[in-house]
């Protein structure tokens, strides 16, 4: 056994311990027929990313589960990796090139991709190295990348399978277009942000009926140029006579029909809705139902595309101003009403998204959504907490076809080839030698790449070797738990579920553990714009990884947001110090008495009490972790170590450790060591570095706490009677301490303590606990009695269940000195009361003083009056 350093210094031990774990391959998992598998896949962080508090929480929760299962004897695999993050990485690389005066187009596709791979080499491992500092015990030997050879093969295989099944198609549909990133994006990547805007009310003249108009209201007047109809509700009697008539579309010289469609809400706006099928997803569906033309009136950069029009080439918001001005001149602008509404923005660059009809690749979602819905409804898939079932189902039940093509160079290129002669599309892993339709040998690959989430959706099985039937895939798949934030359910979770079922026939995991966001101390979301983000590495440098991990899990409930306070990190660090110091104290005493073997029959009441408590704790913590109640489990371990073990048991056994003649010393040391080791094991998933350092110095039988066995409940360690007995002693000690505190009696002042009870069992408890009860209760002598006879009338008391504790007043307090002290306090309070009353009776002060100052003085008057009453009462008691 080695001696621990005097002070716990995480900076000195964490790096050394982590390297030891890596060298020993403790994180590595292999198919093992003698063990049950337990698998978690790490949500792959972007290669553009840097560790933030969300990553820290997400990975801490995964690490807790994987360490727990590893100690339980499972072959535990935590599969790590990174994501190529197509849009984010391409934007970063373009920005980097611009600073060097290089244009993406000048490099060409191959040259640009080389730069992207260089970026990946330079920055791809940054966040992984940062996760090492967190103590993440992922199997880094298996680290994957969404564009590595294996994952790329899986992506091509899935694309081809879905295409051949008719689930992937190329078509002209409404998509979300980012004018800045110049690419389509999925619905999941559109963030709806409330913005202040307007409703522009515009009159559309009825063709052939002078002075007759239809009033519509729109938040986007510029899209008027692409209108192909105005719709009304078929049940709206106000407009029945209008259906079928033609309207003159202002500023265009075109006429458009009035159509009836139940999509229109009669109560909203004017009840007449302009229909622009090429620039609104709902209008697109209306247009399909009524065979309306789709007029795309914008270029990819969101400038107006209307040759011959004065608006042609104008930026969309510039065109908006011009159109509104022209409508005003024509007398067709009825009114402008302020209106706050949710505007779709690209979650990456925050640009307002422009819905457009474009030729893109899509995945048909209707059929694949059905088994994903069924999995939840039958209970095969569970969300923790259950309330996120609704988010999952709502998204799936209203899902649209998924636009999977992106106008980017970085990513998985779509494996589709076009015949230069006849236009035939051939989907294939390799470039075809000739067109199967016309025999032409000139085929060109599609320029687009796949949505990043297309490859991420395959992560649970592509990382294990799919589409090949590998041993890893057979053993570790399906995985067990997915840990992720609620903000990514529809981005990723849903796509993994339907992809897993479709490609492997099985769910990719049985449980989705959802966590909330980490907010700042004011409850605000951490962001660059607010400047309120906190770097986890800064916290680690200052307090250590264990303190950060503990802070992130303390009070954490699944699905709930939590606030970050530096004070909590300090409290976590203080707990680490408490555990360290208690361990040092214990180890120094073990050194003095190394032979500390003991039988259960040798244990004292106090030993059995703490052993029984630790035994129950192991059962409860196991139960909590199995239910994913990580915060509750941690709180129980914290309370046990700090209060029961450190504050009570260690204090109870000190007299035995310091008494060379005590025959129960070996039992005390055995109990201390046993309970500490089990406590460290229960704490290990949360604070891996601290527990490893203490464990490896405390014992020599095992080389790491990481691979030691998880504590299990033992019936022979259940000592209910001893638990009841010691809890009775604790109740008495608390009563004594409360009385002494109220009387300002210092701990150094000892007093006789009488325990009075008619219950002989209660007296027996105190009889068998005399030594430590006397020490904890600051007693000079313990007297056990069945009645109060012989105890002076001046004795103060504390009542506990079935007993009363008495202490002679004179032994607690030097009466003359106490009288003297109270007289001085009475004089001080008299002066304070006179001063406050004088101020509050001074009309000049009361009329001019700020309200806060007046309230402060009134509060002082109330406080000093109360204190004076207490002092006078105490003086009267002493006089008696």
Q: In terms of domains, do 576 and 690 share one?
A: yes
Q: Is the dihedral angle over the CA atoms 724, 729, 730, 734 positive or is it negative?
A: positive
Q: For residue 290, which of 300, 275, 303, 301 has the smallest C-alpha distance?
A: 275
Angle value at C-alpha 857, between 855 and 859, nearest 5 degrees: 70
> What pLDDT, on a 0 to 100 scale, did the predictor assign at position 601?
82
* Contact by Cβ (8 Å): 252, 243: no
Q: In terms of domains, do 696 and 607 share one?
A: yes
Q: In terms of domains, do 199 and 257 share one?
A: yes
Q: In terms of domains, do 116 and 135 share one?
A: yes
Q: What is the chain's mean pLDDT, rounded?
A: 92
**842 assigned to some structural domain:** yes
Q: For residue 516, which of 568, 562, 483 has the smallest C-alpha distance?
A: 562
Measured CA distances, 17 to 24, 87, 539, 583, 675 (Å): 11, 38, 19, 18, 23
**670 assigned to some structural domain:** yes
Q: For residue 678, which of 661, 654, 694, 666 has the smallest C-alpha distance?
A: 694
> What pLDDT, on a 0 to 100 scale, did the predictor assign at position 1?
60
Identify the CATH number of the domain in which residue 128 sits: 3.40.50.620
Q: In terms of domains, do 678 and 749 share one?
A: no
> What pLDDT, on a 0 to 100 scale, did the predictor assign at position 593?
62
**226 assigned to some structural domain:** yes
User: pLDDT of 171-221, one tens digit each?
Assistant: 999 889 999 888 888 777 788 888 888 999 999 999 999 989 999 999 999
Q: How far apart are CA 1 and CA 830, in angstroms?
A: 62
Question: What's the helix, strand, coil split of the chain in %, to 5?
Answer: 50, 20, 35
Mean pLDDT of 777-799: 88
**32 assigned to some structural domain:** yes
Q: How far apart are CA 391 and CA 333, in angstroms?
A: 41
> What pLDDT, on a 0 to 100 scale, did the predictor assign at position 302?
92
> What pLDDT, on a 0 to 100 scale, did the predictor assign at position 594?
56
Q: How far apart are CA 309 and CA 301, in angstroms?
A: 18
Identify the CATH number of the domain in which residue 293 sits: 3.90.740.10
Identify the CATH number of the domain in which residue 832 sits: 1.10.287
Share above pLDDT 70 across residues of the chain, in percent, rounded to a whole number: 98
**Lowest mean per-residue pLDDT among 132-141, 523-532, 719-728:** 523-532
Q: In terms of domains, do 677 and 640 share one?
A: yes
Mean pLDDT of 78-106: 92
HSE-CB at 799 with a 13 A cutoff on CA atoms is 0
CA 108 to chain centre: 41
Q: How far apart are CA 317 and CA 880, in angstroms?
A: 89
Q: Say whether 246 sits in a helix, a strand or coil.
A: strand
User: pLDDT of 398-442, one tens digit each?
Assistant: 888 999 999 999 999 999 999 999 999 999 999 999 999 999 999
Which residues fall within 8 angstroms of residue 69, CB to CB, at 6 or more apart? 38, 76
Full domain range(s) for residue 255: 193-347
Share above pLDDT 90 across residues of the chain, in percent, rounded to a whole number: 72
Q: For residue 37, which of 79, 73, 68 has the smallest C-alpha distance?
A: 73
Q: How far apart are CA 229 and CA 275, in angstroms?
A: 5
Q: How far apart are CA 268 and CA 341, in angstroms?
A: 14
Q: Is 528 annotated as a binding residue?
A: yes
Which residues fall within 8 angstroms of residue 369, CB to CB, at 6 or more apart? 396, 397, 399, 498
Identify the CATH number of the domain in which residue 638 sits: 1.10.730.10
Asked whether residue 877 carries a pLDDT value surpassing 80, the answer given is no
**820 assigned to some structural domain:** yes
Residue with the bigger pLDDT between 593 and 556: it is 556
Q: In terms of domains, do 483 and 625 share one?
A: no
Q: In terms of domains, do 805 and 830 share one?
A: no
> What pLDDT, on a 0 to 100 scale, did the predictor assign at position 192?
83
Domain count, the chain: 5
The stretches of 627-719 forming alpha helices (DSSP H) are: 630-639, 650-658, 665-683, 688-698
HSE-CB at 662 with a 13 A cutoff on CA atoms is 20
Q: In terms of domains, do 844 and 799 share one?
A: no
User: Of 297, 332, 347, which residue is a domain's last?
Assistant: 347
Q: In terms of domains, do 806 and 826 share one?
A: no
Q: In terms of domains, do 678 and 567 share one?
A: yes
User: Of 792, 813, 834, which residue is a domain's last?
Assistant: 813
* Contact by Cβ (8 Å): 248, 255: yes
**Prediction pTM value:** 0.85
Tokens 């959802």 -> residue: 514
> What pLDDT, on a 0 to 100 scale, did the predictor assign at position 334?
94
Q: How far apart are CA 250 and CA 326, in angstroms?
A: 9
User: pLDDT of 573-619, one tens digit each?
Assistant: 999 999 999 999 989 887 766 566 778 888 999 999 999 999 999 99
Pairing of strands 37-41, 75-79: parallel
Which residues fall within 8 angstroms of residue 290, CB to CB, at 6 or more apart? 229, 259, 261
Mean pLDDT of 858-865: 90
Pairing of strands 229-232, 254-260: parallel
For residue 880, what pLDDT band results from cuts at 50, 70 and 90? low
**Angle between the 566-592 and 536-543 helix axes, to the nearest 10 degrees?**
30
* Contact by Cβ (8 Å): 879, 816: no
Asked whether residue 156 carries a pLDDT value surpassing 70, the answer given is yes
**402 assigned to some structural domain:** no
Q: For residue 686, which of 544, 848, 519 has the smallest C-alpha distance?
A: 544
> What pLDDT, on a 0 to 100 scale, did the predictor assign at position 376?
97
User: Of 476, 509, 543, which residue is a domain's last?
Assistant: 543
DSSP assignment of 292-348: ------B-TTSBB--TTSTTTT-BHHHHHHHHHHHHHHHT-EEEEEEEEEEEEEETT
**645 assigned to some structural domain:** yes
Q: In terms of domains, do 670 and 728 share one?
A: no
Q: For residue 515, which of 370, 614, 383, 324 has the smallest C-alpha distance?
A: 383
User: pLDDT of 385-397, one tens digit each?
Assistant: 999 999 999 999 9
**298 assigned to some structural domain:** yes
Q: How far apart are CA 488 and CA 515, in angstroms?
A: 11
């Amino acid at each position: 056994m080695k001696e621990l350093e005097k002070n716990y210094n995480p900076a000195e031990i964490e790096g050394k311990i982590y390297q030891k774990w890596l060298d020993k391959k403790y994180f590595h998992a292999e198919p093992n027929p003698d063990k049950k598998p337990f698998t978690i896949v790490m949500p792959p962080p972007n290669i553009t990313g840097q560790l933030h508090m969300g990553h820290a929480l997400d990975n801490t929760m995964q690490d807790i589960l994987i360490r727990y299962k590893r100690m339980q004897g499972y072959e535990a695999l935590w599969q790590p990796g990174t994501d190529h993050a197509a849009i984010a990485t391409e934007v970063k690389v373009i920005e980097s090139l611009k600073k060097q005066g290089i244009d993406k187009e000048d490099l060409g596709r191959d040259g640009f991709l080389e730069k992207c791979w260089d970026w990946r080499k330079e920055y791809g491992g940054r966040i992984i190295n940062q996760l090492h500092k967190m103590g993440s015990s992922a199997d880094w030997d298996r680290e994957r990348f969404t564009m590595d050879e294996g994952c790329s093969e899986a992506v091509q295989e899935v694309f081809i399978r879905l295409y051949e099944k008719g689930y992937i198609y190329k078509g002209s549909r409404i998509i979300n277009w980012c004018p800045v990133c110049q690419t389509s994006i999925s619905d999941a990547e559109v963030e709806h942000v409330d913005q202040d805007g307007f409703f522009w009310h515009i009159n559309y003249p009825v063709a052939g009926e002078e002075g007759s108009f239809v009033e519509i209201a729109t938040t986007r007047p510029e899209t008027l140029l692409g209108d192909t109809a105005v719709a009304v509700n078929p049940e709206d009697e106000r407009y029945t006579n209008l259906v079928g008539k033609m309207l003159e579309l202002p500023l265009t010289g075109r006429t458009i029909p009035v159509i009836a469609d139940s999509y229109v809400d009669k109560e909203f706006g004017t009840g007449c809705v302009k229909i622009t099928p090429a620039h609104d997803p709902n209008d697109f569906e209306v247009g399909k139902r009524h065979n309306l033309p789709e007029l795309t009136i914008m270029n990819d950069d969101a400038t107006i595309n209307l040759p011959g029009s004065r608006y042609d080439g104008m930026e969309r918001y510039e065109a908006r101003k011009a159109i509104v001005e022209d409508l005003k001149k024509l007398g067709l602008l009825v009114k402008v009403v302020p209106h706050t509404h949710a505007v779709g923005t690209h979650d990456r660059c925050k640009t307002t998204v422009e819905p457009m009809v474009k030729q893109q690749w899509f995945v048909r979602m209707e059929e694949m959504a059905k088994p994903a819905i069924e999995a939840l409804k039958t209970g095969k898939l569970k969300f923790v907490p259950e309330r996120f079932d609704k988010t999952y189902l709502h998204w799936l039940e209203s899902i649209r076809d998924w636009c999977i093509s992106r106008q980017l160079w970085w990513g998985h290129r779509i494996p589709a080839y076009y015949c230069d002669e006849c236009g035939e599309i051939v989907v294939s892993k390799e470039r075809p030698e000739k067109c199967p339709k016309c025999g032409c040998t000139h085929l060109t690959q599609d320029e687009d790449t796949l949505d990043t989430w297309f490859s991420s959706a395959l992560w649970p099985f592509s990382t294990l070797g799919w589409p090949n039937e590998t041993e890893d895939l057979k053993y570790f798949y399906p995985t067990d738990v997915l840990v992720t934030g609620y903000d990514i359910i529809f981005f990723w979770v849903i796509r993994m579920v339907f992809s897993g079922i479709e490609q492997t026939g099985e769910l990719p995991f049985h449980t989705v553990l959802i966590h909330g966001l980490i907010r700042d101390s004011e409850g605000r979301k951490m962001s660059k714009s607010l400047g309120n983000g906190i770097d986890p590495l800064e916290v680690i440098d200052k307090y250590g990884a264990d303190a950060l991990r503990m802070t992130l899990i303390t009070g954490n409930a699944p699905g709930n947001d939590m606030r970050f306070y530096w004070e909590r990190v300090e409290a976590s660090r203080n707990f680490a110090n408490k555990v360290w110091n208690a361990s040092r104290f214990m180890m120094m005493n073990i050194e003095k008495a190394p032979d500390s073997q003991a039988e259960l029959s040798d244990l004292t009441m106090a030993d059995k009490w703490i052993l029984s408590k630790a035994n129950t704790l192991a059962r409860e913590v196991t139960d909590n972790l199995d239910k994913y109640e990580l915060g509750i489990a941690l709180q129980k371990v914290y309370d046990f170590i700090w209060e029961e073990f450190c504050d009570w048991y260690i204090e109870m056994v000190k007299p035995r450790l310091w008494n060379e003649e005590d025959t129960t010393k070996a039992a005390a040391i055995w109990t201390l060591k046993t309970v500490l080791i089990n406590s460290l094991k229960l704490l290990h998933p949360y604070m891996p570095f601290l527990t490893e350092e203490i464990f490896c110095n405390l014992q020599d039988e095992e080389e790491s706490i990481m691979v030691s066995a998880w504590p299990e409940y033992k019936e022979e360690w259940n000592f209910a009677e001893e638990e009841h007995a010691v809890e009775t002693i604790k109740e008495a000690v608390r009563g004594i301490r409360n009385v002494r505190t109220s009387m300002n009696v210092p701990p150094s002042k000892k007093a006789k303590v009488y325990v009075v009870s008619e219950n002989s069992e209660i007296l027996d408890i105190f009889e068998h606990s005399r030594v430590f009860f006397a020490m904890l209760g600051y007693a000079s002598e313990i007297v056990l009695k069945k009645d109060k006879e012989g105890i002076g009338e001046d004795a103060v008391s504390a009542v506990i269940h079935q007993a009363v504790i008495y202490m002679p007043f004179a032994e607690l307090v030097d009466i003359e000195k106490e009288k003297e002290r109270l007289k001085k306090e009475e004089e001080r309070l008299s002066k304070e009361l006179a001063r406050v009353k004088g101020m509050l009776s001074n009309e000049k002060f009361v009329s001019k003083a700020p309200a806060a100052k007046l309230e402060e003085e009134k509060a002082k008057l109330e406080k000093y009056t109360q204190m004076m009453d207490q002092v006078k009462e105490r003086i009267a008691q002493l006089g008696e």
